[in-house]
Structure 1
Amino acid sequence: MIQLLTPSYWKDYELIDCGNFEKLERFGEMILIRPEPQAVWNKGLPESEWTKLHHIRFKGRSATSGEWIKKNPGSPDRWHVTYQNNEATISFRLALTSFKHVGIFPEQAVNWDYISDTIKRFSTPRPKVLNLFAYTGGASLMAQAAGADTSHVDSIKQVVTWANENMELSRLTDIRWVVEDALKFVKRELKRGKKYNGIILDPPAYGHGPNGEKWKLEDHIMEMMNDVTKLLDPEEHFLVLNTYSLGFSSVIVENLIRSSIPNPMNLETGELYLQATAGSKLPLGVFGKTRKIREA
């Protein structure tokens, strides 16, 4: 069954409204307007309300970059937010980047909840978890906070440094940081005979490794899945695959998992969305997840 899932524990985040290719969001006490290519419908609130509510608005110079316009020059460039579910609490430093991002993807909280819940159910003491394309580390933080031995892999040194700051902010320690092309790292771990109880993948549609390696989702995801699933501990494991690509559906994600894992247990697929206070649902990616929990 295909599921539609939205986060339920956020207090420091709110999607207020979305439409006309924009979204109005609250991160902590800061309210931002950012571009959103999925929001092709009309806004729920009048433009005057958006203008009144927001503190900072992103204005694009091109398809990939732009600048932030502050209504009040005193608005911060950096601030903190916290996420807490039933298992753990994690914190993030947010910042205004030139790519419209602020350092967090709030819809991923659904996957964080799944990760922490699964780790708590494992009978394996201190299970090993690998987070690939790990960005600023939301999934890594949650895995570590839930009791895992976590490795965090991303090809961009600056975002790994950012993730390390988030670890310290969350009062956590000992996450393993790796700046490397994800596919290369996985192949090396296979040669070493490594096994992981949990693997998280949130690959971009396009990307580059630290040495210029090219990543294109549709060209490389099957190779990645074939390799990654060989790293899973056969006795107790979970796998989370999340994609944000306009060309991918949850059926594609299901086929990828079934092609690489014979008879996956407890397979779930679906679409992540954020529920706007003004009424609309904003789709933000598709997921597939499977887990095998050993009975104690």
Structure 2
Amino acid sequence: MQPNIQALTPTHWKDYELIDCGDFEKLERFGDVILIRPEPQAVWSKLLPETEWQKLHHIKFKGRSATSGEWVKKNPKTPDRWHIEYKNEDVKIKFRLALTSFKHVGIFPEQSVNWDFISSSIKKFKTPNPRVLNLFAYTGGASLIAKAAGADTTHVDSIKQVVSWANENQEISELKDIRWVVEDALKFVQRELKRGKTYHGIILDPPAYGHGPKGEKWKLEDLIKEMMRDVVQLLDPQEHFLILNTYSLGFSSIIVENLIRGAYPQVQNLNIGELYLKGRSGINLPLGVFGKFSLFNC
């Protein structure tokens, strides 16, 4: 059976907006704060004039190198930290955002399309308190959504400071009891297999490169096949969902499809495609490819 191929973008998030992008930058609104940040995918020209960008933005990131830089404020009173909210018809969560030296602010807005899939899938499960595993979980958007939707949620990331940030997001979202794990994701999955654990939902958003807390090296193209082979064995056989999202210039949705089918030949209801943000200017910004599938015990 051919997969359903989709292109998905957030459509109902009041606290986030892509305004424009181009010339390797993007102009975005997070709540009331408008930022200019680097964007390596934006190889085209900006649609809005530069004067509009300069008029609208509050803070701009200026890179010192390919991996770090500093934020320049037009008004020194603009906060370094602030909160935004996300909600859909099932759940509501909050995030603490911050200006980091790596151009990030603590959230990947395009992932909200996957958050909607997570909450709606959990609501369809017959199992009470279904178990959800979020790998490479960052500041916990998917973890918060899963917990708010009623799941027993495990959050795994290799960076302790990021997990602490995710816990802050749990607190301001008025949630509790997410299980926090600071560990290499592949090692965690292999240990769960030995323990005979299963999960009803699994989310993976692996980086192209990364390091575990004990120096373990992660390179997407070298280890993703092994990860997928192991992680599908953790799926509950009766009802489940899985999301694989990749942000890598070399990966296509067909590669993601082949990875999923190779690891899980019996897959049903497979959707593959591209995540993107639609700008106010009319531009579309691609931000990764995904594969997801689900099985419900109807």
Bin of the TM-score, shorter chain as denominator length? over 0.9
Q: What residue identity is the alignment partner of 1:64?
A: T
CA distance in 1, matches of 2:126, 2:138: 28
Helix, strand or coil at the partner of 2:97: strand
Equivalent in the alignment of 2:66: 63
Q: Does 1:230 align with 2:233?
A: yes
* Gap regions ≥5 residues in structure 2: none
Equivalent in the alignment of 2:193: 190
CA distance in 1, matches of 2:139, 2:232: 24
Q: Does 1:162 align with 2:165?
A: yes
Equivalent in the alignment of 1:216: 219
Helix, strand or coil at the partner of 2:163: helix
Residue 273 of structure 1: which of 260, 276, 281 is its match?
A: 276
Contact 1:9 1:83 in 2 (8 A): no
Residue 288 of structure 2: which of 268, 285, 288 is its match?
A: 285
Residue 81 of structure 2: which of 64, 78, 81 is its match?
A: 78
Equivalent in the alignment of 2:148: 145
Equivalent in the alignment of 2:54: 51
Residue 176 of structure 1: which of 176, 179, 184 is its match?
A: 179
Per-residue deviation, 1:263: 2.4
Helix, strand or coil at the partner of 1:173: coil
Helix, strand or coil at the partner of 2:34: strand
CA distance in 1, matches of 2:46, 2:189: 43
Per-residue deviation, 1:74: 0.6
Per-residue deviation, 1:130: 0.2
TM-score scaled by length of structure 1 = 0.99
Per-residue deviation, 1:97: 0.1
CA distance in 2, matches of 1:94, 1:250: 30
Q: What residue identity is the alignment partner of 1:38?
A: Q
**Deviation readout 1:205-257 (Å, 9 max, x if unpaired):** 00000000000000000000000000000011000000000000000000111
Q: Does 1:90 align with 2:93?
A: yes
Q: What are the within-5 Å matches in structure 2 for residues 118-137 of structure 1? A: 118-137=121-140
Question: What root-mean-square deviation, in Å, do the aligned CA atoms of Structure 1 and Structure 2 show?
Answer: 0.5
Per-residue deviation, 1:8: 1.6
CA distance in 1, matches of 2:87, 2:264: 32
Q: What residue identity is the alignment partner of 1:178?
A: V
**Deviation readout 1:60-117 (Å, 9 max, x if unpaired):** 0000000000000111000000000010001000000000000000000000000000
CA distance in 2, matches of 1:25, 1:44: 14
Helix, strand or coil at the partner of 2:113: helix
Helix, strand or coil at the partner of 1:44: coil
Equivalent in the alignment of 1:10: 13
Q: Does 1:200 align with 2:199?
A: no
Q: Does 1:21 align with 2:24?
A: yes
Helix, strand or coil at the partner of 2:241: strand
Contact 1:10 1:83 in 2 (8 A): yes
Q: What residue identity is the alignment partner of 2:106?
A: G
Contact 1:107 1:272 in 2 (8 A): yes
CA distance in 1, matches of 2:296, 2:192: 23
Helix, strand or coil at the partner of 1:124: coil
CA distance in 2, matches of 1:89, 1:50: 31
Residue 257 of structure 1: which of 251, 256, 260 is its match?
A: 260
* Gap regions ≥5 residues in structure 1: none
Equivalent in the alignment of 2:41: 38
CA distance in 2, matches of 1:13, 1:66: 23
CA distance in 2, matches of 1:89, 1:252: 33
